[in-house]
Amino acid sequence: MCGIVGYVGGKNAQDFLISGLKRLEYRGYDSAGIVTLNAEGKATLVRAKGKISNLEEKLAQNKTSDKIGIGHTRWATHGEPSETNAHPHKAGPLYLVHNGIIENYKELKAELKDFEFKSETDSEVLAALIESFYRDGNYPLVNAVVQALKLVKGTYGIAVISELQPEEIVVARSGSPLVIGVGHDETLIASDASALVGHTKRAIYLNDGEVAVVTAKSIEVKTLNAEPVSAKVEEIETNLAAIQKGGYEHFLLKEIMEQPNTLTETLRGRVNAEQGTVHLGGPGLTEAELRKIQHLVIVGCGTAYHAGLLASYYIEQFVPEITIETVIASEYRYRNAYIPDNSVALIVSQSGETADTLACLREIKKQGVRTVGIVNAIGSTISREVDGGTYVHVGPEISVASTKAFTSQVIAMVIFGLTIAQAKGVRSTMLRPYISEIAKLPEEIAKVLSEAEEQVKAITKKYHELEHAIYLGRDTAYPTAMEGALKLKEISYIDANAYAFGELKHGPLALVDDKYFEIALLPVGELYDKAVSNLQEVLARGGKVIAVTNNDKFDLPVENVVKITTELEIFAPILMNIVLQLFAYYITVAKGLNVDQPRNLAKSVTVE
């Protein structure tokens, strides 16, 4: 939530700040701002409501050659999106950008009686608080920042500069990510490493409770208690191509199309189809520990939650005597739920920064339960705090709606389930079909992508004006339907909900009328006939049905059908999900909406 950037060095600060903000725009896009200082400390502050492009237009009239500055792209929490509420916030000679939430801002504000607040934000309160310690101008900025942060409850990633010290930036983090890019005679700041790509390959990931003073030539990291930290400089693995659209009109389409490759990366070195075995090093569990597992808790939000749900359906099929509970992180963290002995918690998160998921991880660790991360963003907070983990390695996912991460999260968790099954001595004949289908999946996804795209495009034109959709599936196709419905509502704003086919008659059937359309997932398998019977109930009531199936003999009188040809049976729902991703994409394009940055949403939700 919110992206922050900073620059100090020999180049034009505005150039990096604006390009960095564009890369972070996925984190929030309701307003943005930049402040730079010249060598004498004179500030140029430019803020704009709306997208970074609005800020860019305003900057054209306020060009500077300043060599130090900070910037921010906002996702509103306190106060409506407006120029006044946009960051950087000014307090005396100080400017601050903040990502996170100051929970006790009201109490702090009440104490800051002589400060004239201009915005409704919690962040301006933090700026004013720091300034109250800095006021006489000869107090080192970092000390004022530390004094203020000791009084703060909540989460923050901040960058602060002062007109009186126009050669340094003070940054700090607690609960919101902050990366320091180490350049040649320049230092860069960003909420995530993608903003640094192309500028430097070396980065320091600040930990919670750390504060740093950075200049063009130095980086000094300390704890809030003034203990020096010898920060580790790490290599940024992302390359420029991974964060560009690569010829596609939208990141979402690029990310959907990338899935044959990204899934191949997830599988690399982990699946041996010839031997019929899987191997995962990252979770760090011994054979004996894997054998003992009797219970899995899978935690996530949004798409990550759906990935967990789908994986649980699969893992239950082949791991004997195991219970699996897949939970929504924002609920679970307050449930006081009992986790039995011999449990492992899988913490699923693309960004590795989602506040609710992170809070759950911390709660679960308090109970002494072993935690395993299923994370994409390398070096993210969750990946650092779990006991062990598996990166899904899908590269940067930039479009707000998650696609390629979902596919790889499901399969990574299934592979984890297979390692448990192997350790428990499940017969290899039982596991082989799963392993062999997983190995074929990237190729099958490529086939579906080329086969389904035109079919989907043709259909979406007929439905984009309807306002309601019902997604239906049974068994593994049910979590798939949930994810499909989420994708559609996130980006096209069509009110889409998913139901288990068997639940139709208990309520949702009453909705079927000409304002709705229904998407029926019909994978060939044990429950195919039952799903078809449920579908007949919809057809009998005049439902406008789009069927998605891998049954080449499918001939029910539905309005439209998307047929996929695949030799896979177990993982056909994963292929159907790819169809649903394309469907959501093309409907949104037909509606002329912003595909990559849907209204009100952000990619990485670092607030509760």
For residue 6, give the amino acid letter: G
Pick between residue 259 and residue 402 the one whose CB is nearest to ligand G6P: 402
Q: Measured between alpha carbons, how far is 549 from 458 in angstroms, rounded to an integer?
A: 17
446 binds ligand G6P (CB under 6 A): no
The site that binds ligand G6P (CB under 6 A) totals a number of residues, namely 16
402 binds ligand G6P (CB under 6 A): yes
Return the structure tokens found at 344. Answer: 């492992």
Closest CA to 28 of 114, 128, 98: 98
Closest CA to 171 of 136, 135, 137, 203: 203
Burial of 9 (0-12, 13-18, 19+ CB in 10 A): buried
* Piece in contact with ligand G6P (CB under 6 A), picked from 3-11, 217-225, 301-309, 467-475: 301-309
Q: Looking only at residues 324 through 363 of this chain, which bind ligand G6P when binding is defined by CB under 6 A?
A: 349-351, 354, 357
Pick between residue 476 and residue 604 the one whose CB is nearest to ligand G6P: 604
Instruction: Lay out the site mask for ligand G6P across 547-586 (x = CB under 6 A, - = otherwise).
Output: ----------------------------------------
- Give the nearest distance from C-beta 604 to ligand G6P in angstroms: 6
Q: Measured between alpha carbons, how far is 259 from 265 in angstroms, rounded to an integer?
A: 10
302 binds ligand G6P (CB under 6 A): yes
Q: Measured between alpha carbons, how far is 33 from 460 in angstroms, rounded to an integer?
A: 38
Q: Measured between alpha carbons, how far is 575 from 272 in angstroms, rounded to an integer?
A: 21
* CB contact at 8 A, 64 and 37: no
603 binds ligand G6P (CB under 6 A): yes
Instruction: Lay out the site mask for ligand G6P across 225-264 (x = CB under 6 A, - = otherwise).
Output: ----------------------------------------
For residues 472-482, one letter each, b for 16 or more C-beta atoms within 10 angstroms of the residue's C-beta and e for the rest, the string is: bbbbbbbbbbb
301 binds ligand G6P (CB under 6 A): yes
- Give the nearest distance from C-beta 307 to ligand G6P in angstroms: 8
378 binds ligand G6P (CB under 6 A): no
The one catalytic residue in 67, 90, 201, 603 is: 603
152 binds ligand G6P (CB under 6 A): no
Q: Is the dihedral of CA 86, 91, 94, 98 positive or negative?
A: negative
Q: Is the dihedral of CA 146, 148, 154, 160 positive or negative?
A: negative
Burial of 447 (0-12, 13-18, 19+ CB in 10 A): middle
- Give the nearest distance from C-beta 170 to ligand G6P in angstroms: 28
Nearest residue to ligand G6P, scored by beta-carbon proximity:
302
Return the structure tokens found at 286. Answer: 């011994």
Q: Which residue has the tokens 């196709």?
A: 477
Pick between residue 361 and residue 452 the one whose CB is nearest to ligand G6P: 361
- Give the nearest distance from C-beta 389 to ligand G6P in angstroms: 13
* Piece in contact with ligand G6P (CB under 6 A), picked from 55-63, 298-306, 446-454, 575-583: 298-306
Q: Figure out which of the listed residues 141, 197, 267, 401 binds ligand G6P, where binding follows CB under 6 A.
A: 401
* Piece in contact with ligand G6P (CB under 6 A), picked from 227-235, 249-257, 300-308, 506-514: 300-308
- Give the nearest distance from C-beta 106 to ligand G6P in angstroms: 27
Tell me the sheet residues that pair with 544: none
Q: Looking only at residues 303 through 322 of this chain, which bind ligand G6P when binding is defined by CB under 6 A?
A: 303-304
DSSP state, 288? Answer: H
Output Rg (C-alpha) for the chain, integer angstroms. Answer: 25
* Piece in contact with ligand G6P (CB under 6 A), picked from 98-106, 265-273, 397-405, 560-568: 397-405
- Give the nearest distance from C-beta 317 to ligand G6P in angstroms: 24
Q: Which residue has the tokens 């704009």?
A: 48
In this structure, what are the phi and psi dihedrals at residue 91, rounded to the nearest 5 degrees?
Answer: -140, 110
* CB contact at 8 A, 369 and 362: no
Active site residues: 2, 603
- Binding residues for ligand G6P, rule: CB under 6 A, are 301-304, 349-351, 354, 357, 400-402, 601, 603-605
